[in-house]
Chain A
Amino acid sequence: MRDVYVIGVGITSFTRLEFPLSEIAAYPVMMALKDAGIKEVDHLYVANMGSGRVNHQTGLASAVVDTLSLTPAGAEVVENGPASGASAVKTGFMAVASGVHDVVAVTGVERMREVNSLEATEFVATLTHPLGEYIYGVTLPSLAGMFTRLYMEKYGVTSRHLAMVAVKNQDNALLNEFAHIQQKITVEGILDSPEAMTNNPFVADPLRFFDCCPVSDGGASVILATREVAEKLGKPLVKLAGVGQATDTHCVSEREEPTDLLAVRRAAAQSFEMAGVTPADVDVAELHDAFTILEIVESEEVGFFKKGEGHLALERGETQIGGKLPINPSGGLKGRGHPVGATGVAQAYEIVLQLRGEAGKRQVDSPKVGFTCNFGGFGNNVVCLTFTREN
């Protein structure tokens, strides 16, 4: 297997974007090609979940490769629900590692604001089990709500801990010009103030509005290449050192221990093993906080903290920028936004910036190992990536 390096990255603003879907996908590729200092790639992977349903456009990869005037390079869409982004990065990794291609572009894109927020939630809910969950009105927030209550009862996590995740990630997003949510909030303001019941209503009890990520449009790209290509460009070398993926039962109800996220545990372990590092080596991480509870639980399942102790590390400030292990310096899904197909690639974008030391106001102190967890379904399909800085 050949070593694989990230030679270029690009991103759009995550917000409501009034541009054609293929342009939202293409723009960050243009940025990433400029960043790398190259003009051509051998292949293009487009991560997207809902273009056929939400945007009435299929065959998206053909549209994007042509928009970029990269024809006749091969191109295809990778769809893996909200983990499409990291799945596409993993697919690009395999193409380069295997020797099939030397340079590939991966772009993740979603344009969800074309429909209203109820339709967007309904679109994401179609990934639930058709007969075992979907027909009942189950949505991702409702699965997260049930999970959150179990976690609170078992491990003593409270609404305040959840609010602390929201506050931290929205604070981080204020340092990220591309982040969707640019709003300072406080725990008191969203939980204790007289206005809290109206500014922070329940979405799926006990989860409230500020526990859920926004519905966003956006795109993010990375360019992957061999070491030989990467070395010629004279930039800091960031290696995609480990990829891991695992699945779990489609129906959440079937899981033996309902507070475990086994696919996260397994995908992370694979990714660390391939990279030859341990969770303790990680200096900065982007976790999939579609709901605030998920940042806490993933930080345990991937091995940063003991099971049931993630909220204690949060309380101690360890996961803030400047803490022992900064989590979601970009703002995470909560602050940066969650255009589902783009998220996994946007996580990789952030980690590459951090490892290069180019993250500006939100730069973590000289990190060498970075990690991402992209969570598909309600833990049905999880992809984890480990990056290391060389030279």
Chain B
Amino acid sequence: MARDIYAYRCRKCGHLHYPYRMVCANCGENEHNEFDPEALPKTGTLLAFTRLYALPGDFDVPTLGLGIVELENGIRVTGQLDIDEPAAGMKVKGSVEVVRQEEYEKYYGMIFSQA
């Protein structure tokens, strides 16, 4: 099953939020639950990246690629990179996979590879 990451669209002004906010950052709408979830697109452009060599203890890999991607709808997200030689401006495509695993919990997030 293909998984998605959701952004939240304000029902009043249409502003799209990622991550979730309870009050609209654009129009100030503050009625509870007045946001519609909307799956984020998975393709975009790599804006910033790093390779992390000092990882949090629960990661079982020697290094970790991380980056910020501008998705095709303009929303910017942080994700893991499965790219050997990343470069700013590179076209990337994401898939939603397990990005972090704790003892009793799995977390899903975006992992990007070169498009």
Contact = CB atoms under 8 A, between A and B. Distances in A.
Contacts of B109: 131, 135-136
A189 interface: no
A204 B78 contact: no
A201 B53 CA distance: 9
B79 interface: yes
Interface in B27-57: 47-57
A145, A250, A253 — most chain B CB neighbours (10 Å): A253
Contacts of A139: 52, 54-56
Contacts of B68: 146, 252-253, 258
Contact of B100 (A137, A146, A251): A137
Interface string B66-81: 1110000000111110
Given A138-B66, A202-B51, A258-B48, A118 B77 contact: no
A173 B17 CA distance: 44
Contacts of B53: 201-205
A135 B48 contact: no
Interface in A114-157: 117-119, 121-122, 125, 129, 131-133, 135-139, 141-142, 145-147, 149-150, 153
B19 A129 contact: yes
A146 B46 CA distance: 11
B88 interface: yes
A133 B19 CA distance: 10
Contact of A146 (B18, B55, B66, B99): B66
B19 A131 contact: yes
A119 B57 contact: yes
A149 B52 contact: no
A45 to B, nearest CB: 30
Nearest to B79: A136
User: For this complex, into which size category does the number of interface residues on chain B fall?
Assistant: 20 to 34
A137 B76 CA distance: 17
B64 interface: yes
Contacts, number: 101
Contacts of A121: 54, 56
Given A146-B48, A147-B48, A252-B68, A133 B78 contact: yes
Given A251-B78, A253-B77, A135 B66 contact: no
A30 to B, nearest CB: 36
A148 to B, nearest CB: 8
Interface in B77-115: 77-80, 88, 99-100, 107, 109
Nearest to A206: B50
Given A131-B19, A137-B66, A252 B51 contact: no
B13 to A, nearest CB: 17
A204 B59 CA distance: 15
A294 to B, nearest CB: 15
A137 B50 contact: no
A203 B100 contact: no
Given A146-B68, A149-B48, A150-B48, A135 B54 contact: no
Given A119-B57, A135-B109, A141-B52, 9 more contacts: A122-B56, A131-B19, A135-B107, A137-B56, A146-B49, A149-B50, A149-B88, A254-B76, A258-B47
Interface of A: 117-119, 121-122, 125, 129, 131-133, 135-139, 141-142, 145-147, 149-150, 153, 201-207, 250-254, 258
Interface of B: 18-20, 47-57, 59, 64, 66-68, 76-80, 88, 99-100, 107, 109
